[in-house]
Amino acid sequence: MIADKQTYLFPLTESLRREWPDYRPHYFICHGHSVVTGAYAKTVVRPFDAYPHLWHRLLHEKFPTALLNVIVTAIGGENSVSGAERFQRDVLDRRPDLVTIDYGLNDRGVGLEKARDAWRKMLDLCGAAKVPVILLTPTLDAASVLKPKEGEILSAHAEQIRGLASEYGVGLCDPHKAFLLYLQNGGDINELLSWINHPNRLGHEMIARELSGWFPMHG
């Protein structure tokens, strides 16, 4: 089953609460495709409006004494197959305390089976290294909303990612569900997008808030 938000990252949460001189550096790595980099319209990249940076800020509001670094190893246009190939070198060799993986949007190009194998490879490597993981379902893009078939394909990838989170007992951040709920409540997809396939600041803020929820304040 999917990890419990209240307990999964409890040791890490307690470590983030430590103060100088008893603290240590923490490294969170966000791995994935262009959404993670902060790609906006066309080739413009706005990392400080993307969820890794926004999440970093939210975490420092919760843990003002923490020594925390959020590192982005994402590459625009990449899918999970190529992301898995460089996962050990670019992610685990940095000895992270936590990893997020976000490839669902681009994995439509490789299909469910190849994507599943690539995500499992990354999850197996994290398991062997005893590194906790949060998987992200894909954000919506214009095609997934305007073209029913594209929407079905993207939903299938989102469901596969949920299944992997449950199979491996890791964390899940579900922007696919959050974006759909936003539309069901009367919102417009253009209110969440900066470009046909990239979220805007509001979309990224939604993701950052959900990621931050994996660090509940205890006692």
Q: What is the pLDDT of residue 42?
A: 82
Render each residue's pLDDT in the chain as its tens digit; 219 residues. 999 999 999 999 999 999 999 999 999 999 999 999 999 988 899 999 999 999 999 999 999 999 999 999 999 999 999 999 999 999 999 999 999 999 999 999 999 999 999 999 999 999 999 999 999 999 999 999 999 999 999 999 999 999 999 999 999 999 999 999 999 999 999 999 999 999 999 999 999 999 999 998 764
CATH number, domain of 201, equals 3.40.50.1110
Q: Say what the pLDDT of residue 217 is.
A: 77
Verdict on whether the full-model pTM lies above 0.75? yes
Q: 110-127: string of b/e by CB count within 10 Å (b at 16+)?
A: beeeebbebbbbbbebbe
Q: Is residue 185 part of a domain?
A: yes
What is the number of domains present in the chain?
Answer: 1
Does residue 188 lie in a domain region?
A: yes
Q: Give me the count of residues in the chain.
A: 219
Tell me the residue range of the domain where 113 lies.
10-212
Is 4 contained in some domain?
Answer: no
Provide DSSP, 97-166.
Answer: SEEEEE-TTGGGGT-HHHHHHHHHHHHHHHHHHT--EEEEPPPP-HHHHH-HHHHHHHHHHHHHHHHHHH
Residue 217: inside a domain, yes or no? no
